[in-house]
């Protein structure tokens, strides 16, 4: 029925799931202060609609825009707005943020209320609720979900895929969501399938999560339009193009999107958020975060309010170990190193990884030895070593012709490189330079 349940290239980094794979989700106590960036998604940032001194309720909109490719931001606690200013962001820059001092009451806006007849809503009303709730992809890309659920008429979707792969080492947030919020995730997937008008749904899960696979199979036994697809454990199996290839053998063309081949992929965390938005008008004000690694005293999976400083989560997990050396937003392959724990949890924060001195050891970068291992493992059939060389010598047009924009930034090339070249860093730089040139050219 399916293709080969895998994809070309990829690698097998140490899984390191053992730190938290048996840790049930715990709820982090309400933070005293939250810092909520007005851009936590791809597209146009939201504009602040509150100011210093305003009283806000949990779930209340604090940032909006009329741009289609964007989503609003919401207060994750009730309290007083103490500032609307630029603050450090976990993606490595400073962005306009709303700072709220909690009143510890957690008083929710009255607009959040259950709607038992939510599955009877029109698809347009469902998408409206998803947009108003500020839902963006929670698997890392943070693409506005209502936009993704609005393919043009000439590109009808035939297959909806739910991504429960979670191939990034160390992270187990999605794993525990599937174990603890199974019914809600499946109802969210039903909403997605109804909006897209598709009759075939595939839920992909890597085989290193046998308990989630079995539970999902049991829960979907009565469904005639959903299939659970166990997948080989290989990185980056969870990238949407690789998941599609593994699930049905279809290949997204270079420069194209999954909708070009009749497919659409959503993360399991996004499906849960979609269910909550459509069934109860609940905005995206919290998420599951895996706090893990050899530099954390007591790794955990936590339910966290958006805007909570990293440091709060780390302290709840016992703090840093004495040998803690490196703090990362995300996992070791695609995550971004942080200067401090003052940055806030955002919608795309699936994990906080802290490595000790031994695991964080950085080898000196050496010249390329021409082994072509990066070519062998690249899931996008690129030549990372050549693209990197072009970027290094500022030949951006040549890097573009070699497909720099097709890179999914999975980091597999950097992981496998025996010369320890920072291939993915150069490729990200090349993309940024190219995109900046295009903007300047109008």
For 67-124, give the DSSP string: -SS---EE-SS-EEEEEEEEEE-TTSSEEEEEEEEE-SS-PBPTT----TTGGGS-HH
CB atoms within 10 A of CB 24: 10
Residue 168 forms part of a structural domain = yes
My answer on whether 117 and 220 are in the same domain is yes
User: Within a domain: residue 408?
Assistant: yes
- DSSP secondary structure string, 323-351? TEEEEEES-TTT-EE-S-TTSBP-TT--E
Among the three residues 222, 245, 280, which one is the final residue of a domain in this structure?
A: 280
Note whether residue 100 is domain-resident.
no
Residue 217: closest CA among 209, 228, 226, 233: 228
Q: How far apart are CA 133 and CA 96, in angstroms?
A: 20
Task: Identify whether 364 is part of a domain.
Answer: no
Q: What is the pLDDT of residue 5?
A: 66
Residues 152 and 269 in one domain: yes
The answer, as to whether pTM is greater than 0.95, is no
10 Å CB burial of residue 111 (0-12, 13-18, 19+) is middle
Q: Which residue's structure tokens are 């500022």?
A: 394
Q: Is residue 213 part of a domain?
A: yes
Look at residues 218, 248, 280 and tell me which one is the last residue of a structural domain: 280
Residues 405 and 276 in one domain: no
Exposure class string for 226-261: b at 16+ Cβ within 10 A, else e = bbbbbbebbbbbbbbbbbbbbbbebebeeeeebbeb
Whether 258 and 378 share a structural domain: no
pLDDT value, residue 3? 41
Q: What is the pLDDT of residue 255?
A: 84
pLDDT at 8 (0 to 100): 84
Strands 300-305 and 33-37: unpaired
Structural domain span for residue 405:
373-440
Residue 326 lies in a domain: no
Mean pLDDT by groups of 10 residues along the chain of 442 residues: 66 96 98 97 93 98 94 98 96 93 98 96 98 92 92 95 97 98 98 96 97 97 93 94 92 91 97 98 98 98 98 98 95 92 96 93 84 96 96 95 94 94 90 88 78
Count of domains for the chain: 2
Q: Based on the fold, state whether residues 128 and 260 are members of the same structural domain.
A: yes
265 and 159 co-located in one domain: yes
**Packed helices 210-219 and 182-196: angle between N→C axes, nearest 10 degrees:** 60
Tracing tokens 């950097």 back to the chain, one arrives at: 414
Q: Which of 252, 280, 308 is the last residue of a domain?
A: 280
**Residue 406 to residue 72: CA distance in whole angstroms:** 29
Q: Assign residue 230 the CATH number of its domain.
A: 3.40.50.11540
Report the C-alpha gap between 99 and 356 in whole angstroms.
Answer: 32
Whether residue 360 is contained in a domain is answered as no
In a domain, 351, yes or no: no
């Amino acid at each position: 029925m399916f293709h080969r349940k895998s994809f070309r290239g990829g690698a097998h980094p140490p899984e390191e799931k053992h730190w938290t794979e048996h840790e049930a989700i715990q709820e982090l106590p309400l933070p005293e202060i939250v810092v909520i960036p007005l851009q936590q998604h791809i597209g146009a940032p939201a504009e602040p609609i509150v100011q210093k001194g305003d009283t806000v309720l949990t779930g209340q909109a604090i940032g909006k825009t009329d741009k289609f490719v964007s989503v609003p931001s919401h207060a994750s606690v009730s309290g007083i707005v103490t500032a609307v200013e630029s603050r450090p962001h976990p993606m490595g820059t400073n962005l306009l943020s709303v700072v709220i001092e909690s009143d510890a009451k957690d008083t929710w806006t009255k607009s959040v209320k259950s709607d038992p007849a939510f599955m009877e809503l029109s698809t347009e009303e469902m998408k409206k609720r998803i947009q108003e709730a500020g839902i963006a992809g929670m698997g890392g890309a943070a693409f506005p979900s209502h936009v993704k659920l609005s393919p043009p008429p000439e590109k009808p979707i035939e297959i909806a895929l739910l991504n429960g792969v979670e191939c990034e080492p160390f992270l187990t947030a999605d794993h525990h969501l599937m174990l603890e919020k199974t019914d809600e995730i499946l109802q969210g997937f039903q909403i997605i399938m109804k909006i897209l008008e598709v009759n075939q749904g595939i839920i992909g899960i890597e085989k290193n999560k046998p308990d989630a696979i079995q539970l999902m199979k049991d829960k979907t036994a009565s469904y005639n339009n959903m299939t659970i697809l166990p997948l080989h454990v290989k990185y980056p199996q969870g990238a949407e193009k690789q998941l599609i290839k593994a699930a049905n053998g279809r290949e997204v063309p270079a420069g194209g999107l999954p909708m070009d081949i009749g497919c659409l992929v959503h993360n399991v965390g996004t499906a849960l958020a979609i269910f909550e938005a459509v069934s109860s008008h609940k905005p995206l004000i919290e998420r599951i975060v895996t706090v893990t690694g050899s530099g954390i005293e007591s790794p955990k999976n936590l339910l966290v309010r958006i805007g909570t400083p990293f440091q709060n989560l780390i302290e709840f997990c016992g703090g840093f170990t004495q040998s803690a050396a490196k703090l990362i937003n995300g996992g070791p392959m695609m995550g971004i190193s942080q200067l401090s724990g003052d940055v806030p949890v955002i919608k795309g924060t699936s994990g906080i990884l802290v490595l000790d001195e031994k695991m964080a050891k950085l080898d000196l970068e050496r010249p390329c030895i021409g082994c072509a291992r990066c070519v062998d493992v690249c899931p996008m059939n690129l030549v990372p070593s050549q693209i990197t060389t072009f970027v290094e010598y500022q030949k951006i047009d040549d890097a573009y012709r070699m497909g720099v924009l097709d890179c999914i930034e999975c980091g597999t090339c950097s992981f496998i490189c025996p010369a320890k070249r920072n291939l993915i860093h150069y490729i990200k730089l090349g993309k940024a330079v190219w995109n900046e040139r295009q903007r300047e050219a109008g």
